[in-house]
Structure 1
Amino acid sequence: MIKVSLLFFVLFTGYLFSQNDKTDLDYFYEEANFLCKESDNDLDYFCKAYSLYRKASYDSCYVYSGKSLSKVKEQRKKDVLNYIQGVSAIMKGLHKKAKSNFKTISNNNNFQQLKYLKLGSINLILKNYDSSIYYYEKWESGGIKKNIKLGRDAYHNLGLSYLHKKEYTKAKEYFQKELNLVQVRDTAAIIRTKMDLANVYYNQYLDDEAIPLFIEAYDLAKLFSDLELKQYTAKNMAVVEKNRKNYQKSVDYYIEYGRWKDSIWNRDKIWELTEKDKQLAVAQKQQEIVLQEEELKRQAVVQKSLVIGASGLLVFLGFLGYFYRELKSKNRFITQQKEELNVANKTKDYLFSVVSHDLRSPINTIKRQHEKLKRQLKNKEYDAVSETTNNAIALTESTSHLLNNVLHWSLEQNNQLSFKAEEYPLKPLVEQAVYNFEEIAEAKNIALTTMLEATILVKADKESLKIVLRNLLDNALKYTGENGKIEVKTYNDSEEFSTIEIKDTGFGISEEKLAKIKGLEDLSIDKINRSEGVGLGMLLCQTLIKKNNGKLLIDSELEVGTTIRILLPNASA
C-alpha cells in the first residue's frame, strides 16, 4: 500500500521573551552590543554587520559580516559574526555555508545553545538526520531555561528526524511532547502536530490510529483560515481514501485539494496585482508633480522674458519652442494613454458583465443546494445528501474554472500575462495536461486515450498553451457523457504546422453556435454580444492561439461529438 507523503514543517523560529528569564538570544544581544561599543567601525565593519542583522537586511549583513571576519582576530567577535552570517546564509538558502559558520562558533560563550538549535535545523534540512538528532539532544540536555514555543519547535524537528530514520517510537514520543506544549488557541500548531502523529502511525500501517488523526486534522483545517493547511489536509485525505479504495471520495478530496491550490494561487496573484496598482498610482503621482514643476519653470521663464525685453524675448521664444515640442510629445503620450485606458475600460466592462451574468446563476444555485442539503440533513434524508453535495461541488468547480478564465483574460488584455515563445517538444506538455484530467475521466467512466508523436518540436509559449489545453479538455469532459471516449493525438500537419487534436463523443455543438464560436477569431471586446451566448473560455482560447501564431479549428455534429485541432508553428518554421 502506498502511504501518505510526509508533510515537513522544518522550523527556524526565534525566541519569545518571558518577563523574568533570559534566553540565549538575550545573552547574544548583550554580548554583541558590548563588543560593538568597543569596536572600530572603520576597520572591521563589526557594528555595521550587526546593525544590518537587527534590521533583517540579510543580504547586506552577509557581505559586511564576511568583510569583518577577514579582519578581526578576537574570538568573541568571531563568534558573533559567524552567528549573524550563519543566520543570513539560512535566509539566502545557503545551508552548507550556514552550517560551516555555526560549527565555527566556540563553546566559550553564553549563547552556545543557539548554535545547537541552528545546527539541528540545518542538518534536518540537509537530511543529515543523525547529526540533527545529535545537536537537538545537546540542546535538550543543556539545562537552559526554555519557553513554550522554543521547546515545541525543537521537539517537532526531533520528531521529524526520527520519523525519517523510521524510529517511530522516538518520533511519536517527541511529537507527543510537542502536542503537550501546544496551546489550545494555536489551531495551526495543533493541525500540524496531528498530521505528524498520523504519519507516524500510517507509516507503520496502523491505519486505525492514523486515519482518525488525519480526519481530525482535516476537520480542524476546514474551520481554520490557513489555506495551505486546508490544501495539505485535503491531499492527505485523498491519498488515504485512495489507499482504502474509496475512489469517489478520493476524487472529491483531490478536487478540493485543487480548489485550495487554485485559491492560494489566486490570492498570491491578487496580492501581486494590488502591489502593481500601488506602484502605478505612485508613478502617476510622481508624473503629476513633474508636470507641475515644469509648468512653474515655464511661468518663471515667461516672467523673466517680459523684464529682459527684446533680447530676452528671443531667448523666451527659443525656450517656448522647446517647451512646445515637449508639450507635443507629452500630448502624444497622453493620447496613447487614453487609447490604452479605453481598451482597459472596455475589458473591465466586459469582465463585469461576465461576473454579473455568469456568476449570478451558479452562486444562486449553490445557495439553493446548500439550503436543500440543510433540509435533507435535518430530515435525515442521507441517501439524497451525497447527490446534493456532488452537485454543489460540480457547480463550485465550474465557477472556479470561470474565475480562472476571467483572471487569465484580464492579465492578457493588460499585457501582464507572461508570454515567451520558445522551441520545445510537444509530447511532454500534452501528456502533463492529459494527466491532470485522468482521475476526473475515470470518475465519469470516460475513456481518455492519447497517441502522441515524440519527435514533434513546436515554437510557442508554454504557459498560454497550457491554459488552452486545460479549457478544451475541461469542455470535452464536461460535454461527454458516461462511457464516452476522448482521444488526444499529435501529428505533423505540414512543414509549417503541427497539430494537437482533441476528439470526443460528446453531445456536439449546433451549427448556429459553432458559427458563433468560429467568429471569435476576429472578435474584439467592443463587438461581443453576451446575449448571443459567446463564452469567455473559447474567446480566451482563440486569443491565446492567435498570439502563438497558430490556428484553432472546430468541427462538430450534434449527438456525434466534437473535434478540435490546434495548429502550432513548427520549431524549424
Structure 2
Amino acid sequence: MIQKSSLLYFSILFLFPFFLFSQVTSNIDIISKRLQKKAIEYQSETNFVKSQYFFLKKDWDSTLIYTTKQLSTNSNREIADYCHFFRGRIFHNKNLYKEAKEELLLISKAFEFSTFTTINLGTTSVELRDFKTAIVYYKKALQSPEIKNQPYSFAKIHEGLGNCYLFLEQYDKAEEHLLINLRSKKNDQVHLYDAYNSLANLYYEQDKNVKALYFFEKAYFLSKEIKDVQIKNLASFNLAVYEENRGDYKKALIYRKEAEQWNDSLNNQNKIWAVADFEKKFAVAQKQKEIKVLEVENQLKNTQRNWLFFSAIILLILIVIGAYLYAQKTKNAKTILRQKNKLDELNTTKDQLFSIVSHDLRSSVNALKTSNSKLSATLETKNYEELNQLIIQNSSIANGAYSLLDNLLHWAMLQTKQLYFHKESVHLHSIVQQIEYNYKPLLLDKSISFENSVAKNCFIFVDLDSLKIVLRNLLDNAIKFSNKNGTIHFYTIENHTNFCQLVAEDTGIGMHQNTIDELLQENELLAKKNNSEIIGTGLGMQLCKQMIQKNGGSLSIESELNKGTKIMLSLPKTAQNG
C-alpha cells in the first residue's frame, strides 16, 4: 500500500482557501450595483453613503470608521445589515476570521443578500478550520432558490463541501460533491485544474491509485496550458511525490526535475532582479569614481593655468570686484525694494482674505451654533419635521464652510506653486456626470433639475483633478444661488476650433455687471454680491480662473439679475478629437 505524503496532502490545504474565497469576491460586482441604488435611496444617511463609497473603493479603514458611526446612530434594519456585511468582508480581508464571523452573524434573515452572507459564513468557518460548521452553511446556501442561476457560486460551493468532507475523511460524500464541481468547470482552466487536483488527492487518500494517477495526470497536462508557474510547479511536484511513494523512481526523477525547473524559474526571476540591481549600483559607483577622477584632473589644470597669469590679472580682479560690488549693491537695493512692495501687496491681500474668510467662517459657526440650540429645543418637543429641517440646515452650513476651506487650501497651493498639474485626455461628458452624482443630494434638497447635454464625443486635454475642482465650484455656486425648482444646464457649443466650449447655465439670481467685472479682474480676491448684503471672497471663481489658465483655457461670464448666469469655459481639445 502506498504511504500517504504530507506534502501532497498540503497541496489541497494551500489551494483550497484561495479558490474557495474567490467565489465570494466574484459576487461583489452584483452587490456594488445594488449599493449605488441604496446610496441614493438613503442619501440622508451620510455615514452610510460614505461607508458604501469607501467599501467600493476598498478603503477598509475608512469603511470601518463610518460603519461604526452609522451603527451607533441609526436603527434602520436594512442599513444595519449592509454595515455588518461590509465589516464582515473587511475583517475577512484582514485575516480576522473570528471577528468577521461575529459581524456576519448579526445580519438578519431578511437581508436581500442573505445567500451571499451564508457563503461568507461558510468560507470564514473554513478559515477557522471548523469544517462541520462550514458544511452546514454551504448546504444552507445550496437550498437558496437563486443559487442555481449562479453557476460559478454553485460549483464552488460543491468544491467547498467536497474538500470539507475530504478533511473530515468522509470520502463518499467528498467524491459526490467534487464530481459535481468538476462537471461545472469545463470553461475555466485554473478552476478545472483545482477540481482535478482535489479529486486526485481524494482518491490518493483512499489508496485508489489508478483513479488518483488519472486525475494527477489530467491536472499535470492541463497545467501546461496555464501560465501560472506556481501551478506548473505544484502539478509536477504532486506526480513526483506520487511516483516516489509507489516506487517508480525513474518517473519520479523526471517529474521532480521538471518541478525543480519551474521552481528555479520562480527563483531566477528574483535572482535576475537582484543581479540587475547589483549591476546598476556597480555602474553608478563606477561613474561616480570617473567623475571624481575628472574633478581632480580639472583642479590640477586650473592650478597650473592660474599661477601663470596670477600676477598679471590681480589689478583686473580688483577693478572687477569693485565694479561687481557696486553693481551688486544697486541690484540688491532694487531687489529689496521690489520684494518689499510685493510683500506689502501679499500682506494686504492676505489680511483682506483672512478677514473675509474669518467673517464667513464666523457666520457659518454662529449659524450652526444657533441652529444647534434650536435643534436641542426641538428634540425636547419631539417635532420631527422641524428636527429634519434643522439637520438639513446644519448639513448645508457645514458643506458651505467645508467648500470655503477647500477652496482656500487649493488657492494657497496655487500661490505657493505646490499644486501639481498632469495633463491627459479626459472624456468631458463622464466628468460632468461624476460631478452631478457627487452633488445629487444638494440638487434634490432644493428640487433643482440638472441637465447634462455635454457632447459625448468631446475629449479635452487637461489636468483631471483641477478640472474637477473647477466643475465642482461652478456647480456648487449654481446650486447656492439658484432658487428652489430651478434648472442647471451643462452643455457644449461646437465652434470647429481646437478648443471645446463648455457652458454652465443656471436660472438663479444672477449678478450685476460690476460684480462680473470684479470677478474677472486679474488678482482680484474679493467680490461683493448685492443679495442680502452677503459678502463672499470670490475665491472660488478666482481659483477656477487660475486653474483654467493653467490648463491653457479661458473663462468668461454672462449674467442678468433674476434671470440666471452663464459661465463659459474654453478648454483645449485632445489632438485626435480635433
- Higher-Rg structure is 2
TM-score interval (norm. to shorter): 0.3 to 0.5
Q: TM-score, normalised by structure 1?
A: 0.45
